[in-house]
């Protein structure tokens, strides 16, 4: 019951929070990606993160451990970039199905 009350207080206090999308003439899909190298001291796997904006606000973001051990920081960046590339291709496909260029 204590946890439920805490959640409800949080929801009540954040009802005005959100992502504001303003009308723009030139809407661009942009993506950003980054990684670290071997930050997990247990298995030496790197962490990757990416986010994508459409116009004036974020549409998706993620952060997760890489599935394999990168032997260099460059390899960790390539793995992160590959993950971001698959994500942006999916977003573009969704936008095409919605009739956007």
User: Strands (DSSP E) along 1-101, which ranges?
Assistant: 29-35, 47-54, 57-65
pLDDT, position 8: 93
User: Percent of the chain having pLDDT more than 70?
Assistant: 100
Tokens (6 digits) for 10: 């949080």
CA distance 66 to 37: 10
Is-contact 47 66, C-beta < 8 A?
Answer: yes
- In the predicted structure, residue 6 carries a pLDDT above the cut 90: yes
pLDDT, position 90: 92
CA distance 16 to 29: 26
> What is the per-residue pLDDT across 53-94, written as a single tens digit (0 to 9) for each?
988 888 888 888 887 788 788 888 888 888 899 999 999 999
């Amino acid at each position: 019951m204590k946890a439920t009350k805490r959640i409800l207080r949080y929801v009540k206090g954040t009802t005005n929070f959100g992502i504001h999308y303003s009308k723009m003439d030139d809407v661009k899909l942009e993506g950003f990606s980054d990684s670290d190298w071997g930050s997990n001291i247990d298995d030496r796997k790197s962490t990757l993160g990416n986010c994508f904006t459409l116009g004036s606000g974020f549409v998706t973001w993620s952060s997760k451990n890489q599935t394999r051990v990168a032997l260099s920081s460059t390899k960790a960046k390539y793995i992160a970039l590959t993950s971001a590339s698959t994500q942006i291709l999916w977003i573009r496909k969704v936008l095409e199905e919605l009739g956007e260029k």
